Amino acid sequence: MKVGVISDTHGLLRPEALAALKGCEQIIHAGDIGKLDILDQLAAIAPLQVVRGNNDQSSSWAQSIADHQRFDLNGWRVLLVHDIADVPALLDESIKIVITGHSHKPRIDWRGEHLYLNPGSAGPRRFKLPVTLALLEVVPGSIEPRLISLLE
């Protein structure tokens, strides 16, 4: 199962991001979406799991979007939340993958058998941070995360 993970679009969905997500069986957006149209475009590619970020809080279109989600991804239990600072209060032993955004800093961090993934920011460039998203190859006994750079 190919899964796309994107975050911090802040209203900008680059053609490079759409191209990288083509063929995904599921897409996960870790918040700071920016515009409802972003979700419509992503949902046209694949089923979507999404949380709102701190910059989405005051948007009327985002009020029905959850602040966090727990779901299964091909046998792996996932916690999706925008800010990693909120993870400790939400974490339980069933969670194997923690997906966050917010920092705009891409990170793949294995902590024992647990994957902590931040796909970075796919939206407007912030400071000198890279513009990235992540792809996951997920099978019941294995998960392979990789970061995709959207700009050279």
Residue by residue, what is the 3-state secondary structure of the chain? CEEEEECCCCCCCCHHHHHHHCCCCEEEECCCCCCHHHHHHHHCCCCEEECCCHHHCCCHHHCCCCCEEEEEECCEEEEEECCHHHHHHHCCCCCCEEECCCCCCCEEEEECCEEEEECCECCCCCCCCCEEEEEEEEECCEEEEEEEECCC
The mean per-residue pLDDT over the stretch 79-83 comes to 98
pLDDT in tens, 116-140: 999 999 999 988 899 999 999 998 8
What per-residue confidence (pLDDT) applies to 61?
96
Residue 18 reports pLDDT greater than 90: yes
**What pLDDT digit, counting tens, does each position of 65-78 carry?**
999 999 999 999 99
* CATH label of the domain that carries residue 63: 3.60.21.10
Count of domains forming the chain: 1
Please report the pLDDT score of residue 152 as a whole number. 67
Full residue range of the structural domain in which residue 138 is found: 2-149
Instruction: Determine the pLDDT at residue 89.
Output: 92
| % the chain with pLDDT above 70 | 99
